[in-house]
Amino acid sequence: MTDRVLVVDDEAEFRSLVCEALRLEGYATSEAADGAEAIRLFREALPAAVLLDLEMPRQPGLPTLGQMRALAPAVPVIILSGRGDIAKAVAAVKGGAFDYIEKPPDFERISLTLRQALEKRKLEEEVRRVSAALETSLEARFGTSPAIRAVIGRMRQVAPTDLAVIVQGETGTGKTHVARAIHELSRRAAGPFVRVDVSVIPPSLVESELFGARKGAFTGSDRDRAGHVAAANGGTCFLDDIENIPLGIQAKLLDVLETKRICPVGGGEPVTLDFRLIAATNRDLRACVAARMFREDLLYRLGEFVIDVPPLRERPEDVLFFMDLFLEEACGEMGQHIEGYSAAAAELLVSHPWPGNVRELKNVVRRAVLMAPGELIETAQIDLLARGAVSGSEECAAGSLKDAVRELEKRMIGKALESTAGNKTRAAELLRLSYPTLLSKVREHGLEP
């Protein structure tokens, strides 16, 4: 489609010359002799760009520019000014004009400026289109509630920067997905996204896992290892469960963040890296600082930007959104054809407090799809692991079951410690528990030697 340029000038011969030159360049043109006529034409058919004279008898250029900006701020306006009107032309540019050209104009200058203005407008329109598509894409992943839209807004706000980010929220709220989306929206999107779950790394190995180690640095170190932070060079390093990093290693992490240099365990030359760090936690790090489990200076360094992901129970609109999303996904995966939920089933799901958040909801829907015999999911197929408070005989039965499970857990941990001669790291691996969780359970059951 040919771009149309509106030429506004009170001199008929000048307008004719400019329009003829523009038509030779391939533009369509329309003409106006003053600001009032220009606004009428502007309203009737929005032009791609405007060439606007400053000095005209009926309505001069500056108020006309103001009206055009109010009607359609995306349309670029190029000011045509006489030699004595340079101050007004500069004021017009400050008021939103794209540029100004002195009269009598150099037609090559008009052509170049017009081309630049139209290219800028098309680029801005493309950015707006991509931005709108991105907004829709993020909502399709995270939900549509006002609370989650606020989270998406903060993600988009911080993504173009290199600020360190803390993503905090309850288990199952999607903190890893938030971190990955920030990476995908950033200038580092083409680089690696390296996720490190600190809770599953034994404390004695955290330093070497993060920063690498030289061959022979410790027992079992039979080769040089780069470490996860080095693997994120040029991209993003995401540390999940950041509160589990041992205090002694936190000081080194702080230094790495400040200098962007790492020194592997076992020595050697420091390596300079270019990475962005995002951390996640389901704990209150300020409480961890108060309990002397987390360094205050590291908290301030990591928390250059903080994103709180609200729990699912605070955004019921997203429960409905994820119910439909997970139903479609599960049906596709399992080859099922289910239309939706009965009214009673939908009410049960929306009213549930979802202590496990989005992760719990996904698992519940998947189980329901697997068990549903018909085209609707009924309450009978909804298997909630935690249905809230119980009462009477149910409470007694639940208490007995809880005691039995507790005793079984104690015996299993005791047996694992016995079979590993008290080696807690190996016992944690046998039980498929994180090392901090095992320590907590050992203390809870009184199994310390």
| Residue 129, CA distances (Å) to 187, 197, 321, 334 in order | 19, 36, 24, 36
DSSP letter for 334, please: H
Q: Is-contact 172 342, C-beta < 8 A?
A: no
Q: What is the CATH number of the domain that holds 64?
A: 3.40.50.2300
Coil, strand, or helix at residue 294? Answer: coil
Is 68 domain-assigned? yes
pLDDT higher for 4 or 389? 4
Amino acid 120: pLDDT: 87
Please give the backbone phi and psi of residue 221, each rounded to the nearest 5 degrees, phi first. Answer: -85, 90
Whether residues 318 and 247 fall in one domain:
no
Whether residues 263 and 155 fall in one domain:
yes
Whether residues 155 and 282 fall in one domain:
yes
Whether residues 250 and 325 fall in one domain:
no
Where do runs of H (alpha helix) occur along 143-205? 146-158, 175-185
- Amino acid letter, 275: F
How far is it, in rounded angstroms, from Cα 224 to Cα 232? Answer: 17
Q: What is the CATH number of the domain that holds 288?
A: 3.40.50.300
Whether residues 226 and 161 fall in one domain:
yes
Q: Is-contact 313 172, C-beta < 8 A?
A: no
What confidence category does residue 148 fall into, taking pLDDT thresholds of 50, 70 and 90?
very high
Amino acid 375: pLDDT: 86
Coil, strand, or helix at residue 268? Answer: coil
Q: What is the CATH number of the domain that holds 348?
A: 1.10.8.60
Whether residues 187 and 252 fall in one domain:
yes
Q: Is-contact 58 16, C-beta < 8 A?
A: no
CB count within 10 Å of CB 407 equals 11
Q: What is the secondary structure of 124-148 as a DSSP string? A: HHHHHHHHHHHHHHHHHHH--SHHH
Q: Given 280, 308, 336, which residue is the final one in a domain?
A: 308
Kindly report the average pLDDT of the chain as a whole number: 86
How far is it, in rounded angstroms, from Cα 246 to Cα 257? Answer: 16
Whether residues 149 and 269 fall in one domain:
yes
- Using a pLDDT cut of 70, give the percent of the chain over it: 89
Is 137 domain-assigned? no
For the stretch 36-87, pLDDT in tens is 999 999 999 999 999 999 888 888 888 999 999 999 998 999 998 876 678 8
Is 98 domain-assigned? yes
What confidence category does residue 423 fall into, taking pLDDT thresholds of 50, 70 and 90?
confident
**CB crowding 357-394: b at 16 or more within 10 Å, else e:** bbebbbebbbbbbeebeeeebbbebbebeeeeeeeeee
CB count within 10 Å of CB 202 equals 16
- Amino acid letter, 191: G
Is 131 domain-assigned? no
- Using a pLDDT cut of 90, give the percent of the chain over it: 51
365 is written with which tokens? 């829907």
How far is it, in rounded angstroms, from Cα 420 to Cα 438? Answer: 14
Q: Given 248, 273, 308, which residue is the final one in a domain?
A: 308
Number of domain units in the chain: 4
173 is written with which tokens? 């709220």
Helix (H) or strand (E) run with residue 276 in it: strand 276-281
Q: Structure pTM? A: 0.59
DSSP β-ladder status, 4-8 and 49-53: parallel
Whether residues 281 and 175 fall in one domain:
yes
Coil, strand, or helix at residue 443? Answer: helix
Whether residues 107 and 154 fall in one domain:
no
CB count within 10 Å of CB 81 equals 22
Please give the backbone phi and psi of residue 204, each rounded to the nearest 5 degrees, phi first. Answer: -70, -15
Integer-rounded Cα Rg, in Å, for the chain is: 32
CB count within 10 Å of CB 434 equals 18
> Domain residues for 152?
143-308
Whether residues 28 and 114 fall in one domain:
yes
Q: Is-contact 41 32, C-beta < 8 A?
A: yes
Q: Given 285, 308, 331, which residue is the final one in a domain?
A: 308
For the stretch 344-400, pLDDT in tens is 899 899 989 999 999 999 999 999 998 888 889 999 999 886 554 333 334 443 444
Q: What is the secondary structure of 220-265 as a DSSP string? A: T--S-B--HHHHTTTSEEEEESGGGS-HHHHHHHHHHHHH-EE--B
| Residue 375, CA distances (Å) to 30, 82, 339, 350, 365 in order | 61, 75, 5, 20, 14
Whether residues 215 and 300 fall in one domain:
yes
For the stretch 305-343, pLDDT in tens is 999 999 999 998 899 999 999 999 999 988 888 989 998
Residue 249 CB burial class (10 angstroms; 0-12, 13-18, ≥19): middle
- Does residue 425 register a pLDDT over 50? yes
| Residue 200, CA distances (Å) to 17, 175, 213, 224, 228 in order | 76, 17, 19, 22, 14
Q: What is the CATH number of the domain that holds 410?
A: 1.10.10
Whether residues 290 and 330 fall in one domain:
no
Q: Which residues pair with 306 in a beta bridge?
A: 166
For the stretch 193-241, pLDDT in tens is 999 999 999 988 899 899 988 776 665 655 677 889 999 999 999 999 9
- Does residue 134 register a pLDDT over 50? yes
